[in-house]
């Protein structure tokens, strides 16, 4: 018997977990605009604008800057499959779950991952990185997570990229949770390859992954001895579509309406101003932190390297993690995140990202938590 279905009407939630974040109303409106062809001249014009707006968000002049037509995990994979060949040594910093995903990408490409391990909740130790690079002078790249979503740590990307440069390594940076929320300077810090996601501090819908490659990284790609193992993510092929000029080679059907949405979210970021966006995320983090103090709740990560847009709240002894999160969701339509990996059951992850980073959301989260915990 065929089951009868009806249109899906989602509940209205306040998204204060690790992502996705709340989406700007203007971005949702952009999604509803008429779909046109992915090679339509008007859409090609829009692609050029999106590239320029992403260059602003990343603070780069890199020509190879574009959104991958898939989520941040595909952005990560696009960087590794293009830059890593069998036998390449890649130094990978891990102080959270997503550093571990970098390791898996390196190994699936046939590379050798040399790990720099630090405790979850602690920053990457710069001295350890130097020691590992000294011991591995043939390392091709240094890979690290700028804003570790699983632990709420903001690693020192500027210093790590400087170390990579000293040892003549490429720098590979995960900026999924930092783009638009924390200071990020691709050109000034000389980042060679970087990837992010649209569903965090850009307050866009999930499903796209902005990436950017330096000229040095492009030269490495062009000198590969082996074909890129992914046809879809081969940058030489993709740039035939996302390159400059009106003539574009068909590569794939871009998610046209999603690109409308990204364009709108980047316009909002440009209108606010990058520095203003960074300051807003920090200001609301401080407000949340002060409110948590009053509730007797503390944060896992030391103040010096806390990630403002993702707050790791230690769960008090005797408090049922899942019960609290379920009550917040069902009674207050408020989503906060659970801990990952070794932090599962020990922390809540409270996101203040994009348009969700507001004093209104801070107040609502604190009052809702207070009610449930009492």
* Shared domain check, 180 and 69: yes
* Shared domain check, 235 and 94: yes
CATH classification at residue 282: 3.90.1150.10
**Residue 9 within a domain:** no
Residue 27: Cβ within 10 Å count: 25
CA distance 65 to 179: 14
**Residue 4 within a domain:** no
* Shared domain check, 215 and 72: yes
CA torsion 76-144-283-15 (nearest 10°) is: 40
* Shared domain check, 368 and 263: no
Which of 224, 245, 270 is where one domain is finished?
270
Query: Which CA distances in Å does 195 have to 141, 157, 258, 259?
Result: 15, 13, 18, 17
The domain in which residue 83 lies consists of 25-270
State the pTM of this model.
0.97
* Shared domain check, 240 and 224: yes
**Residue 114 within a domain:** yes
Main-chain phi, psi angles of 21, to 5 degrees: -95, 170
Contact 242, 104 (CB under 8 A): no
Number of folded domains that form the chain: 2
Tens of pLDDT, residue by residue, the chain (374 residues): 678 999 999 999 999 999 999 999 999 999 999 999 999 999 999 999 999 999 999 999 999 999 999 999 999 999 999 999 999 999 999 999 999 999 999 999 999 999 999 999 999 999 999 999 999 999 999 999 999 999 999 999 999 999 999 999 999 999 999 999 999 999 999 999 999 999 999 999 999 999 999 999 999 999 999 999 999 999 999 988 988 666 788 999 999 999 999 999 999 999 999 999 999 999 999 999 999 999 999 999 999 999 999 999 999 999 999 999 999 999 999 999 999 989 999 999 999 999 999 999 999 999 999 999 99
* Shared domain check, 145 and 78: yes
* Shared domain check, 302 and 204: no
CATH classification at residue 52: 3.40.640.10
**Residue 8 within a domain:** no
């Amino acid at each position: 018997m065929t089951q009868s279905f009806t249109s899906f009407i989602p509940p209205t939630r306040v998204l204060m977990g690790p992502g996705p974040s709340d989406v700007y109303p203007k971005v949702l409106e952009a999604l509803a605009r008429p779909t046109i062809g992915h090679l339509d001249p008007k859409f090609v014009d829009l692609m050029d604008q999106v590239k320029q707006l992403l260059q602003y968000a990343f603070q780069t002049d890199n020509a190879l800057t574009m959104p991958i037509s898939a989520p941040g995990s595909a952005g990560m994979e696009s960087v590794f499959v293009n830059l890593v060949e069998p036998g390449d040594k890649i130094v990978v910093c891990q102080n959270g779950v997503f550093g571990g995903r970098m390791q898996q990408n390196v190994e699936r490409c046939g590379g050798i991952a040399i790990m720099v391990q630090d405790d979850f909740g602690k920053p990457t130790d710069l001295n350890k990185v130097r020691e590992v690079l000294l011991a591995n002078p043939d390392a091709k790249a240094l890979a690290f997570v700028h804003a570790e979503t699983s632990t709420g740590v903001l690693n020192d990307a500027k210093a790590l990229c400087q170390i990579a440069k000293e040892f003549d390594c490429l720098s590979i940076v995960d900026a999924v949770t930092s783009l638009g929320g924390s200071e990020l300077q691709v050109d000034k810090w000389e980042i060679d390859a970087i990837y992010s996601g649209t569903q965090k501090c850009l307050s866009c819908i999930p499903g796209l992954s902005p990436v950017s490659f330096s000229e040095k990284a492009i030269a490495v790609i062009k000198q590969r001895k082996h074909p890129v193992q992914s046809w879809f993510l081969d940058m030489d092929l993709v740039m035939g579509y996302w390159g400059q000029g009106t003539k574009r080679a068909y590569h794939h059907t871009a998610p046209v309406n999603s690109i409308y949405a990204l364009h709108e979210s980047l316009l909002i970021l440009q209108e606010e101003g990058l520095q203003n966006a960074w300051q807003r995320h920090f200001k609301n983090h401080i407000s949340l932190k002060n409110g948590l103090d009053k509730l007797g709740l503390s944060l896992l990560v030391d103040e010096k390297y806390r990630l403002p847009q993702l707050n790791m709240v230690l769960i008090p002894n005797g408090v049922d993690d899942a019960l609290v999160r379920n009550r917040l969701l069902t009674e207050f339509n408020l989503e906060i995140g659970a801990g990952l990996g070794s932090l599962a059951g020990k922390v809540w992850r409270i996101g203040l990202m994009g348009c969700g980073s507001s004093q209104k959301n801070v107040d609502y989260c604190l009052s809702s938590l207070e009610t449930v915990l009492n």
